[in-house]
Amino acid sequence: MADSILVINCGSSSLKFAILSNAGQTLIVEGIAERLGSDNSSISFKFEGEKTVIALQDSSHKQAVTQIKHWLEEHPHIQKNLVGIGHRVVHGGETFTHSVLIDQNVIQGIADCSQFAPLHTAAHVIGIEVAMQIFPGLPQVAVFDTAFHQTLEPVQYLYPIPMAMYRDHHFRKYGFHGTSYRYISQRLAELDPKSHQQGVLAAHLGNGASTCAINKGKSSDTSMGITPLEGLMMGTRCGSLDPSLISFISKAEHISSDEALDILNKKSGLLGISELSNDCRTLEEAMVSGDNRAKLALDMFAARTAKYLASVATTLESIDHLVFTGGIGENSSYLRHVICQNLKAFNISINEDKNNNAPRGMASEIHTRHSNTKVWIIPTNEELVIALDTFSLINN
Ligand code: ADP
């Protein structure tokens, strides 16, 4: 068996992990530690088609990583091939434009980005420090969600607010889902090599959702901003709106601006409009049973996705490809259909048979012969990018 990499995605109350070998092509084991920091936390391992769940006594991140280490000790043929650990890091600010090998300076650099993503950053630092304690001597790499968008020009990433806000506080658009967009760009270049010299629009649609324009392989604009709240309507996030609303909501509801922001982050989007669920599948089922509010929420999601695809497209010379990815982008034929209907002015059209019968978990083309733009469904694979970056930094 070839060298393998442990990929860790550490959140404040969860820790997802996977071990990949064979240049990232083979998933050996994956799992998740959930409800960390609260009662009844547990960690699950999916290995050779079987799922094992183990309760965590002290519900800490450290105990979760210790359990991964124990699992490896029980599988010495896998442990002996482990050569490194790759960590997903949400915010790399302007400091990190590429993945990096982790040392104390890098940990400090990640901690310094915490003002924009305090909960995520604190969790990442814990995950890295714990992994360093439990796997001493194993090289560790940080892969940043923001890094792919560091190619944006100032004309795209600056907010039209006083320049001192950028100079003094680094307030600007950073963008997220960069690891996913980098994968999409590379995978599309395998499927259609010319795409690397062309204009690509991509929509990563999951619980969090964003769009990205990729010009000749580089991100030229993206819909998320200084935080993931900007841009599209999402599962529970409102996306872009008039910022005055924060003041209106806090005055009308007698709450602080932070509490108003919490409503926009956690109680809005598909959940806020449907008053039913943030989950696309639940809403599609409700729509089929005649729930008009579920349909309104989904149609708003589609309209706003199309709007932010059109918006980022202004940085491209031509729209040669449109790629759908993420749980919704890969699986919801209804939303792909409505989004493309909203893009009729761009002469983007999809074949409904191909859209409705797209094979699950595989890349496919769904455009019509007359479409100006090739339309693709490409399942994303962020773990693969993290594993490959980790391999390549270790080997260099
Ligand atoms: P996250 O941002 O948490 O990684 P995912 O990319 O896993 O999210 O996407 C989750 C979303 O994908 C949910 O809204 C879920 O309902 C939706 N989804 C998954 N499968 C389907 C499906 N078959 N049809 C419609 N929506 C789906």
Q: Do 203 and 309 form a contact (C-beta atoms < 8 A)?
A: yes
Q: Which residues of the chain have pLDDT under 50?
A: none
| Among 220, 265, 205, residue whose Cα is nearest residue 241 | 265
Residue 119, pLDDT score: 85
Residue nearest to atom 21 of ligand 1 (CA): 331
Cβ–ligand 1 distance for 326 under 6 Å, the answer: yes
Q: What is the DSSP string of 121-161?
A: HHHHHHHHHHHHHHSTT--EEEEESSGGGGG--HHHHS-SS
In the reported structure, the alpha carbon of residue 281 is separated from the centroid of ligand 1 by a whole-number distance in angstroms of: 7
In the reported structure, the alpha carbon of residue 210 is separated from the centroid of ligand 1 by a whole-number distance in angstroms of: 14
Q: Do 64 and 6 form a contact (C-beta atoms < 8 A)?
A: no
The distance from CA 249 to its chain's CA centroid, rounded to whole angstroms, is 29
In the reported structure, the alpha carbon of residue 318 is separated from the centroid of ligand 1 by a whole-number distance in angstroms of: 29
Catalytic residue among 3, 103, 145, 279: 145
Give the span between the Cα atoms of 214 and 149, in whole angstroms: 10
| Among 327, 317, 320, residue whose Cα is nearest residue 371 | 320
Residue 101, pLDDT score: 98
pLDDT digits (tens, 9 = 90+) for 363-394: 999 999 999 999 999 999 999 999 999 999 99
In the reported structure, the alpha carbon of residue 177 is separated from the centroid of ligand 1 by a whole-number distance in angstroms of: 15
- Phi/psi region, residue 293 (left: phi>0; alpha: psi -120 to 50; beta: rest), is alpha
Cβ–ligand 1 distance for 207 under 6 Å, the answer: yes
Structure token pair of residue 379: 């399942």
The CB-based long-range contact list for 186-191 (8 Å cut-off, 24+ gap) reads: 187/363, 187/378, 187/381, 188/321, 188/323, 188/376, 188/378, 189/217, 191/363, 191/376, 191/378
User: Can 221 be counted among the known catalytic residues?
Assistant: no
**Residue 298 CB contacts under 8 Å (≥ 6 apart), including other chains:** 270, 280, 283, 284, 287, 334, 335, 338
**Ligand 1 atom nearest to CA at 208:** 2
Residue 107, pLDDT score: 96
Residue nearest to atom 22 of ligand 1 (CA): 331
C-beta atoms surrounding 242 within 10 Å: 7
Q: What angle do CA 83, 85, 91 make, to 5 degrees?
A: 155
Give the span between the Cα atoms of 268 and 282, in whole angstroms: 16
Residue nearest to atom 8 of ligand 1 (CA): 206
Give the span between the Cα atoms of 154 and 294, in whole angstroms: 39
Give the span between the Cα atoms of 61 and 311, in whole angstroms: 40
Give the span between the Cα atoms of 209 and 183, in whole angstroms: 16
Residue 374, pLDDT score: 98
**Residue 148 CB contacts under 8 Å (≥ 6 apart), including other chains:** 175, 178, 179, 181, 182, 219
Give the span between the Cα atoms of 332 and 297, in whole angstroms: 14
Residue nearest to atom 4 of ligand 1 (CA): 206
pLDDT digits (tens, 9 = 90+) for 148-199: 999 999 999 999 999 999 999 999 999 999 999 999 999 999 999 999 999 9
Q: Do 309 and 213 form a contact (C-beta atoms < 8 A)?
A: no
Q: Do 101 and 139 form a contact (C-beta atoms < 8 A)?
A: yes
- Mutation test residue for ligand 1: of 179, 273, 279, 328, the one with most atoms within 8 Å of CB: 328
| Among 154, 187, 195, residue whose Cα is nearest residue 173 | 154
Residue in the structure block whose two tokens are 């995950």: 127
Alpha helices, H only, 150-291: 154-157, 163-169, 178-191, 244-253, 257-266, 269-274, 280-288
Cβ–ligand 1 distance for 331 under 6 Å, the answer: yes
What does pTM read for this prediction? Answer: 0.95
- Mutation test residue for ligand 1: of 180, 210, 274, 281, the one with most atoms within 8 Å of CB: 281
| Among 339, 389, 295, residue whose Cα is nearest residue 5 | 389
Cβ–ligand 1 distance for 206 under 6 Å, the answer: yes
Give the span between the Cα atoms of 35 and 24, in whole angstroms: 28
Give the span between the Cα atoms of 44 and 33, in whole angstroms: 6
Residue 39, pLDDT score: 84
